[in-house]
Structures are given as structure tokens and as C-alpha cells.
């Protein structure tokens, strides 16, 4: 079976590099493009000390127009990602996006384009299995507790605040409680030494229930991203935001 071609945007960032290396090591995937504006024209194999990887970094996705098809994996920031996503979808590439901070308008535009071009899209705030499991147990706990708050902590360079993971958690709780997402308190922390952390705290008569998930190494996102790459083509015409949909269709 032919390997799935993958283009990685943000490949020299901390998360992009960690995820990119997992993609490169997957036997059924092939890294065919690397995008990072600040490191354009550098040799990716040299950066990773990997002699098996013969790939030059480009600054813009349009430089990869010769590729007939690839899955675009994007871990950057929303402003530049919006352009890449539009280009990729218009060329009928499937997309796997871990970039967060998109406005509602941007998300609606992406959904419209994905439907028009009938490609698959996974826009998932957090690709770690632990974060997805935290969502499940927190929603279940929300059946029995009707008061709760979300605390999220990230590294100081994370631009969006609160995080996409925390926003999604607040939305899930709000849906369960038939409230508005903005009614669920979300507290954000940006400190050196943090990577990605989320806590959901429920309060009840004489008791407190706490769920917490910590990412200490960005490689935690790799397995979820790889699973999404393998399955995203099956989501033709729609945008999947729940990692559970990827995991449920995985063999």
C-alpha cells in the first residue's frame, strides 16, 4: 500500500518538530513537505540529525504546488494557517489542524470550503489521548455535579488565551448543563516551565471532585495526529472536532 503523503506546517516549532518526527517515523506515512517561514531553505534532515530525511524547508505552501495531493498538518497560528488551509482545501488536500485560536468566522469559512470541495478535515484542539479522555470523564461527572470550573496552563509563548482545549471543555459542560459556554468560568495561566495542563474542578455538598491532565512532552500529540492523518479522508465534506471520532474509526 502506498504511503500517505504529508506536508507539515510549523515543523520547526516545538510542537511541530515533535509531531513531525512522529509522522516521519510512521511506516505508512511519508513526509513530502515542510513549511516554516523563518527557516526556509534549511535542510530538515540536518536540523534533525537524520540522514534518511532529504527534505528542504519552504516558506509557503504554494511552493509545493507540484504535489498532486497531500494531507496538510498545521501546528502554527491562526492568521497564517487560514491561508494555508484555504489553499490546501482548494487543491483538494485533506487537512489535520492542531492550530487553535480561530475566530468563529474563520471556522465557518473552513467548514464551507471543506463542504464545497468534499475533502476531509480534522480541526482538533488537542490531539493527546489523555485530554480526550478527560473530556469524557468530565462530561460524565457533569451529570451528577452542576457547578464546575476549568483551569488551563500553558507555556508563555502560547498566543490564544484561554486555550482551544479549555474552550472546548467549557462548551461541552455548558451543553450538558444547558447553559452558554461563557457561563462556565475558565482560568488561564501562562508560566515558564509549563507545557500544556488542564484541570476541571466540580463542587458539591461537602465534596470537591478534580480531574487533571498534564502534557510534559509534546510527543503526546503524535499518536492522535497520526491516527487523524490515516482517517481524515473518510470525513469527506465535514470538519471533525472530536478526537473520539478519529479513535472510533481507527482499527
| Domains of the chain by residue range | 4-123+219-249, 129-216
CATH code for the part of the protein at 4-123+219-249? 3.40.50.720
C-alpha 215/C-alpha 230 separation (Å) is 23
φ/ψ of residue 50, rounded to 5: -125, 105
* Residue 152 near residue 162, CB atoms below 8 Å: yes
> What fold is seen in the domain 129-216?
Dihydrodipicolinate Reductase; domain 2 (3.30.360)
Per-residue pLDDT band at 250 (split at 50, 70, 90): low
pLDDT tens, position by position, 223-244: 999 999 999 999 999 999 999 9
Q: How far apart are CA 75 and CA 78, in angstroms?
A: 9
| Residue 251 clears pLDDT 60, i.e. is over it | no
Q: Find out whether 8 and 19 touch, Cβ atoms under 8 Å.
A: yes
Over residues 33-41, the mean pLDDT reads 94
How far are the Cα atoms of 33, 82, 207, 214, 226 from residue 162, in angstroms, in the given order?
31, 20, 27, 16, 26
Catalytic residues: 154, 158
Tens-digit pLDDT profile for residues 132-155: 999 999 999 999 999 999 999 999
Region of 246 please: left (phi>0), alpha (psi -120 to 50) or beta. Answer: alpha
Among 135, 211, 209, 147, which residue's Cα sits nearest to residue 179? 147
Whether 4-123+219-249 shares its CATH topology with 129-216 is answered no
Look up the pTM and report it. Answer: 0.90
Amino acid at each position: 500500500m502506498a504511503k500517505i503523503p504529508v506536508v507539515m506546517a510549523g515543523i520547526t516549532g516545538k510542537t511541530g518538530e515533535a509531531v513531525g518526527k512522529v509522522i516521519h517515523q510512521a511506516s505508512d506515512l511519508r513526509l513530502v513537505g515542510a513549511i516554516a517561514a523563518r527557516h526556509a531553505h534549511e535542510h530538515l534532515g540536518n536540523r534533525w540529525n537524520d540522514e534518511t530525511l532529504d527534505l528542504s524547508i519552504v516558506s509557503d505552501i504554494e511552493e509545493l504546488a507540484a504535489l498532486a495531493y497531500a494531507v496538510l498538518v498545521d501546528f502554527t497560528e491562526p492568521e497564517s494557517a487560514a491561508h494555508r488551509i484555504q489553499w490546501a482545501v482548494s487543491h483538494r488536500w485533506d487537512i489535520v489542524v492542531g492550530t487553535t485560536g480561530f475566530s468563529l468566522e474563520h471556522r465557518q469559512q473552513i467548514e464551507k470550503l471543506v463542504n464545497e470541495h468534499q475533502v476531509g478535515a480534522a480541526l482538533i484542539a488537542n490531539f493527546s489521548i489523555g485530554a480526550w479522555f478527560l473530556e469524557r470523564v468530565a462530561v460524565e461527572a457533569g451529570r451528577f455535579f452542576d457547578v464546575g470550573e476549568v483551569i488551563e496552563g500553558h507555556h508563555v509563548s502560547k498566543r490564544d488565551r484561554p486555550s482551544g482545549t479549555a474552550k472546548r471543555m467549557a462548551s461541552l459542560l455548558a451543553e450538558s448543563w444547558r447553559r452558554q459556554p461563557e457561563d462556565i468560568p475558565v482560568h488561564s495561566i501562562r508560566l515558564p516551565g509549563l507545557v500544556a495542563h488542564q484541570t476541571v474542578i466540580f463542587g458539591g455538598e461537602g465534596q470537591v471532585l478534580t480531574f487533571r491532565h498534564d502534557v510534559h512532552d509534546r510527543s503526546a500529540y503524535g499518536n492522535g495526529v497520526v491516527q487523524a492523518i490515516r482517517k481524515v479522508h473518510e470525513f469527506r465534506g465535514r470538519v471533525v472536532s472530536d478526537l473520539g471520532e478519529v479513535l472510533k474509526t481507527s482499527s
